[in-house]
Amino acid sequence: KAGVTQTPRYLIKTRGQQVTLSCSPISGHRSVSWYQQTPGQGLQFLFEYFSETQRNKGNFPGRFSGRQFSNSRSEMNVSTLELGDSALYLCASSSGFIDEQYFGPGTRLTVT
Amino acid sequence: GEDVEQSLFLSVREGDSSVINCTYTDSSSTYLYWYKQEPGAGLQLLTYIFSNMDMKQDQRLTVLLNKKDKHLSLRIADTQTGDSAIYFCAERTAGYSTLTFGKGTMLLVSP
């Protein structure tokens, strides 16, 4: 069974631009969560989608948004990029509420 | 609020056992996880334990949970150089899918 895939793996953007990251969960998984990883703050939860609905949201500004499609693939968008948005963005999929979460390799975003 | 604490660094020699410790504050935590992250990679789920268990063993890995003290540990037997990585402890509260992570423990295994 294929694992969680994320595209692109690396991205360089300029302040003020916007970016869209994509995540394809493990086949059959309906829940996708997004996390931001930085050296200073560690791993922080962004949001979780289940069956195309946002089920939970972390403490991030409204510039961070996401969505999930009917095939469970998810995208997250960051608008008006700031230098502090430079991070590794990790996507995790699970089959539902209780199960363990499997992570993708991440997208490394650098904002200059 | 929820908080997960880990020591930042552990150095061991190849063949020794490694013990990585974690404490958490959320008394309603029902699942506790250990993830491994190698340089440039995502998180690899190593093992997890339900809060009603005291111990779980999986090959070289042993997880011990002291629910009274809210203390979790991961023991790696016969540590190898390939075990060098950052290890994250995470907790999940019942009814929620969100994971709260510690800052990670960097394990360095020397030959």
| Per-residue pLDDT reduced to its tens digit, A10-29 | 999 999 999 999 999 999 99
Within 8 A of A100 by CB-CB distance, chain B residues are: 31, 33, 45, 48
Within 8 A of A6 by CB-CB distance, chain B residues are: 42
pLDDT of residue A1: 64
pLDDT of residue A6: 97
pLDDT in tens, chain B (111 residues): 568 999 999 999 999 999 999 999 877 777 899 999 999 889 999 999 988 889 999 999 999 999 999 999 999 999 999 999 999 999 987 667 789 999 999 999 999
Mutation target for B interface from A55, A100, A107: give the one with most B CBs within 10 A: A100
CB of A88 within 8 A of CB of A107?
yes
Q: Chain A: residue nearest B89 by CA?
A: A43
3-state secondary structure labels for all residues of chain A? CCCCEEECCEEEECCCCCEEEEEECCCCCCEEEEEEEECCCEEEEEEEEECCEEEEECCCCCCEEEEECCCCCEEEEECCCCHHHCEEEEEEEECCCCCCCEECCCEEEEEC
Report d(CA A91, CA B78) in Å as an integer: 32
Q: Any CB–CB contact under 8 A between A93 and chain B?
A: no
* Integer Rg of chain A from CA: 13
